[in-house]
Amino acid sequence: MSVPVFPGGCAMSRGLLSRGGVVCVLGSALWGAMPMRAQTPSALNVMPLPAKVQVGGGVMKIDTGFSMAFSGDREARLDRAAQRFVVQLERETGMTFPAATAAKDASKATLLVTTDHESKPVQELGEDESYTLDITPAGAKLHAANPLGTLHGLQTFLQLVSVTPDGFAVPAVSIQDQPRFPWRGMLIDSSRHFIPLEVIKRNINGLEAVKMNVFHWHLSDNQGFRVESHKFPKLQENGSDGLYYTQEEIRDLIAYAHDRGVRVVPEFDMPGHSTAWFVGYPELASGKGPYQIDRRWGVFNPAMDPTNERTYKFLNELIGEMAKLFPDQFFHIGGDEVNGKEWDANPNIQAFMAAHEIKNNQGLQAYFSQHVQDLVVKHGKTPVGWDEILVPGVPKTIVIQSWRGADSLAAAAKMGYRGILSNGYYIDLGWSAERHYAVDPMGGAAANLTAEEKERILGGESTMWSEYVDAENIDSRIWPRNAAIAERFWSPQSTTDSTSMYQRMEAESERLEWLGLTHRSFQRKMVQRMAGDAAPAELSSLRTLTEALEPVKDYTREENAAIEPTSQTPLNRVVDAVQPESETPRRFSAGVDQFLAGSCKDAAKASELRAQLAQWAGNDSRLQSLAQRSYLVKEASPASSALSQAAELALNALDRLMQGLPSTEDLKKQQIATLNALELQAHKSQLTLPARAAFQKLIEAATSGSACVNAR
């Protein structure tokens, strides 16, 4: 039996076109190139790691007498920030602070906050975000040039709070901090699945906590136009299934984000990815219509008609309306993935191209893009778009968002364009935090840019495309991994120790739940739902299973599904409940690495690994009775069986290792082939075995001639 190995999960199909490409570019190559650096890990659970930290002696206690006072600038959002700070401090400690913001004598406040001057009324790219935080046993002082730095410093303080033998406290420390990049963002796609406002809000709480400063809101696509337009109400009325944000809600959200130091950049994707527009306004399209909301995933034919003047008249009015609604300087016009089929099929468009000497669809898109950019500029905004908008002659003012990669971005910078990197930060692909963390906007060709060219690389954005997320599980697809990406954008380039990153990310993960995010707690509820009236032992086996697996990676989900998934397909399955990066197998795999690095001599570690393997190996039999009663559990049966069988193989290898009974080369090959087959079996449930590589390492170590066998 011959089964392919899965180095980085490079299987591709329709995912290739739909924001693909990214999948293999950063596959095993970079993975292998990233050594575990021996950088000193920070003992402080702060994330992102500050630019400069000096740890002092002792701690400052946090008790019910805690108070804070403000001096300098007193703009109203600082008062609100103080209130939020106190609420979060109360959650972290379980105490109340009756005098927290009532300190009359500022000099006696536990935490004195000084803000030199106001920030801009509309937050601008490149404003000073630096702050200093000095904590001694006697008190704490936070100082910043403007409220943006103050907001960041308050978050750092909250991250420093920990329980001690004598109560809650923050360590004495001196921090000087500022960001590496001025544009540190996250995209949420509200079109493929509508994401309720409260979910957006709690994720903006998360952005504030990890010092990201841009919320990129993908508001329209084939599956829905999600903004209320007063000028063109059929956009939302016919193009959203009633699921859209009112202008009042958007204004509220923008104010909410502004309070948290987060800019809101809207994206209206054009000329492709726009079927939902055409349901109400078919005259915009290049095809005949009528159009329906397209609830499937992928790249489809409908595209705006770039040759018709009324398209630009419409866009002029809409962009004008939206430019007023969204105060940010930047306005995203999308521009990705036009397949051109509607253009090819429309004789008028073909005639227009011939008349205007437009050679191909790329040229036609450039023509469209230039017109739309002019409209954006006319309404006072700076256009942003995906790689495709960068064509010869486009003005140097535009900003390129690169899904193609760091090299593409570097090339743009060389040509004089500003850019932000998203390739490598596609958090919907289900990669590990470590893999995203290894991607650097200044990596690849960017490393060789001149200082002036480097200035043009503004930062990056993670992207939460929403094919397989809804209000219930979206947090888990964003957090905690997004914190690692936030650190990449904020902390010095030399911050690359992934062991330290994981330690701090897990601490931050817990704190994020106090902010209302549900990336940890959602799983218990989903598991309980799937388990129905399960007995405790059955429920426990389903928990063990979900904590041991991950969803299939990249865009491979449902690729062989009998029924094509849509935005109305329930997301209530095991694949929807498991974490993109599960802590238990990650810890297990790290444990295997340690064990092997120690020449398999650490008996305590072996016993710990053995206990985990035994639990997994025995889990499938405990799950079976439940799988007979719940269709949702039954669907995961192949993966459950694969996990138990794979763990059994690894257990056998570990036992051979410990008993000094090496296996043969033939047996090894056979077992690895079986492991690969089991991985394929798990894919039937859209799941993957994240500890498979660790299992294989144990099998290899237990083979005659391997280092571990020889060491014993």
Q: What six digits make up the tokens of 183?
A: 């544009």
526 makes contact with a copy of itself (CB under 8 A):
yes
Query: Using CB under 8 A, which of the segments 87-95, 133-141, 259-267, 678-686 binds a copy of itself?
Result: 87-95
Residue 375 or residue 531: which is nearer to a copy of itself going by CB? 531
Residue 457 or residue 632: which is nearer to a copy of itself going by CB? 632
65 makes contact with a copy of itself (CB under 8 A):
no
The whole-angstrom separation of Cα 219 and Cα 242 is 14
Measured between its terminal Cα atoms, the distance across the chain in Å is 32
In angstroms, give the least distance from the CB of 685 to a copy of itself: 16
525 makes contact with a copy of itself (CB under 8 A):
yes
548 makes contact with a copy of itself (CB under 8 A):
no
Residue 583 or residue 655: which is nearer to a copy of itself going by CB? 583
110 makes contact with a copy of itself (CB under 8 A):
no
In angstroms, give the least distance from the CB of 204 to a copy of itself: 20
In angstroms, give the least distance from the CB of 532 to a copy of itself: 4
Burial of 444 (0-12, 13-18, 19+ CB in 10 A): buried
Q: Is 664 left (phi over 0), alpha (psi -120 to 50) or beta?
A: beta
Give residues 27-46 in contact with a copy of itself (rule: CB under 8 A): 45
- How many CB atoms sit inside 10 A of residue 121's CB? 9
Give residues 597-656 in contact with a copy of itself (rule: CB under 8 A): 628-632, 634
Beta-strand pair 214-221/224-225: antiparallel
Query: Using CB under 8 A, which of the segments 117-125, 368-376, 403-411, 509-517 binds a copy of itself?
Result: 509-517
In angstroms, give the least distance from the CB of 96 to a copy of itself: 6
360 makes contact with a copy of itself (CB under 8 A):
no
Size of the site for a copy of itself (CB under 8 A): 43
DSSP string, 144-213: ESSHHHHHHHHHHHHHH-EEETTEEEEEEEEEEE--S-SEEEEEEETTTS---HHHHHHHHHHHHHTT--
- Candidate residues 35, 94, 121, 660; the one interacting with a copy of itself per rule CB under 8 A: 94
Q: How many Cα atoms occupy the beta-carbon half-sphere of 262 within 13 Å?
A: 29
558 makes contact with a copy of itself (CB under 8 A):
no
Residue 494 or residue 568: which is nearer to a copy of itself going by CB? 568
The whole-angstrom separation of Cα 483 and Cα 211 is 9
165 makes contact with a copy of itself (CB under 8 A):
yes
570 makes contact with a copy of itself (CB under 8 A):
yes
Query: Using CB under 8 A, which of the segments 257-265, 275-283, 444-452, 565-573 binds a copy of itself?
Result: 565-573
- Candidate residues 107, 450, 560, 568; the one interacting with a copy of itself per rule CB under 8 A: 568
Give the long-range contacts of residues 610-614, CB within 8 A, separation 24 or more.
610/651, 610/654, 610/655, 612/584, 612/588, 613/647, 613/648, 613/650, 613/651, 613/654, 614/647, 614/651
- Candidate residues 78, 530, 651, 694; the one interacting with a copy of itself per rule CB under 8 A: 530
Residue 52 or residue 525: which is nearer to a copy of itself going by CB? 525
Residue 329 or residue 572: which is nearer to a copy of itself going by CB? 572
Q: How many Cα atoms occupy the beta-carbon half-sphere of 270 within 13 Å?
A: 32
- Candidate residues 442, 571, 578, 708; the one interacting with a copy of itself per rule CB under 8 A: 571
The whole-angstrom separation of Cα 676 and Cα 694 is 13
> Using an 8 Å Cβ cutoff, are 551 and 580 in contact?
yes
Please report how the helices 498-514 and 147-160 are oriented relative to each other, as an axis angle in degrees rounded to 10.
Answer: 100
> Using an 8 Å Cβ cutoff, are 72 and 114 in contact?
yes
104 makes contact with a copy of itself (CB under 8 A):
no
Tell me whether residue 337 is one of the annotated catalytic residues.
Answer: yes
Q: Alpha carbon of 13 to those of 73, 96, 273, 298, 660: distances in Å?
A: 55, 54, 19, 11, 45
Running DSSP on this structure, what letter comes out for residue 50? P
Q: Give me the helices (H) in 563-636, please.
A: 574-577, 583-597, 603-629, 631-634
Query: Using CB under 8 A, which of the segments 11-19, 339-347, 520-528, 692-700 binds a copy of itself?
Result: 520-528
Beta-strand pair 111-115/68-72: parallel
Closest CA to 21 of 381, 316, 405, 543: 405
The whole-angstrom separation of Cα 285 and Cα 370 is 18
98 makes contact with a copy of itself (CB under 8 A):
yes
> Using an 8 Å Cβ cutoff, are 656 and 704 in contact?
no
CA 350: distance to chain centroid?
41
In angstroms, give the least distance from the CB of 211 to a copy of itself: 21
> Using an 8 Å Cβ cutoff, are 304 and 375 in contact?
no
Query: Using CB under 8 A, which of the segments 164-172, 252-260, 394-402, 676-684 binds a copy of itself?
Result: 164-172
513 makes contact with a copy of itself (CB under 8 A):
yes
Q: Give me the helices (H) in 551-602, please.
A: 574-577, 583-597
- Candidate residues 510, 597, 601, 707; the one interacting with a copy of itself per rule CB under 8 A: 510
Contacts of 15 (CB under 8 A, 6+ apart): 23, 554, 555, 556, 559
The whole-angstrom separation of Cα 617 and Cα 627 is 17
Buried b (16+ CB within 10 A) or exposed e, 646-677: bbbbbbbbbebbeeeebbeeebbeebbebbbb
In angstroms, give the least distance from the CB of 635 to a copy of itself: 11
166 makes contact with a copy of itself (CB under 8 A):
yes
Residue 91 or residue 341: which is nearer to a copy of itself going by CB? 91
Residue 26 or residue 632: which is nearer to a copy of itself going by CB? 632
Q: How many Cα atoms occupy the beta-carbon half-sphere of 210 within 13 Å?
A: 36
Residue 241 or residue 453: which is nearer to a copy of itself going by CB? 241
- Candidate residues 397, 521, 621, 710; the one interacting with a copy of itself per rule CB under 8 A: 521
2 makes contact with a copy of itself (CB under 8 A):
no
59 makes contact with a copy of itself (CB under 8 A):
no
Query: Using CB under 8 A, which of the segments 133-141, 199-207, 570-578, 663-671 binds a copy of itself?
Result: 570-578
* Residue from 208, 337, 487, 581 carrying the catalytic annotation: 337
Give residues 207-246 in contact with a copy of itself (rule: CB under 8 A): 241
In angstroms, give the least distance from the CB of 466 to a copy of itself: 14
Residues annotated catalytic, as ranges: 337
Which residues of the chain form contacts with a copy of itself (CB under 8 A)? Answer: 45, 64, 92-96, 98, 162-167, 241, 472, 507, 510, 513-514, 521, 524-526, 528-533, 536, 568, 570-572, 576, 587, 628-632, 634
